[in-house]
Structure 1
């Protein structure tokens, strides 16, 4: 499986599927599609649809 990264278009915060977001109760290895729709960017509060997949 290939993990991806997603960047907030508002503030530039990056969600990495490998790392997850443990501070926000999202375990490492959690795929983007498995994050709840009501989740928000921990930096700026942007909605999930304000993120875009990026290639690193």
Structure 2
């Protein structure tokens, strides 16, 4: 499972956790998140997210 970070505000979407409060089930791959989904923190679109590596 990967993690994606909003380059605008730093919010992190974790595929393993999903976002149940936004009707995105745990285990939902980034590719399966709706294309019109917006960052819950700042309203940025999916195009403003980058995959990150946590070390």
Q: What is the TM-score when the length of structure 1 is the normalising length? A: 0.94
Return structure 1 stretches of 4+ with deviation > 6 angstroms.
none
Pairing of 1:19-34 with structure 2 (within 5 A)? 19-34=17-32
Unaligned runs of 5+ in 1: none
Distance between the aligned counterparts of 2:9 and 2:29, measured in 1? 21
Q: What is the TM-score when the length of structure 2 is the normalising length? A: 0.96
Report how many residues are paired.
54
1:11 to 2:13 alignment? no
1:4-31 deviations in whole A, cap 9, x for unaligned?
0000000000000000011111000000
1:10-56 deviations in whole A, cap 9, x for unaligned?
00000000000111110000000001100000000000000000011
Distance between the aligned counterparts of 1:54 and 1:21, measured in 2? 18
Computed over aligned residues only, the root mean square deviation of the Cα atoms, in angstroms, reads 0.4
Unaligned runs of 5+ in 2: none
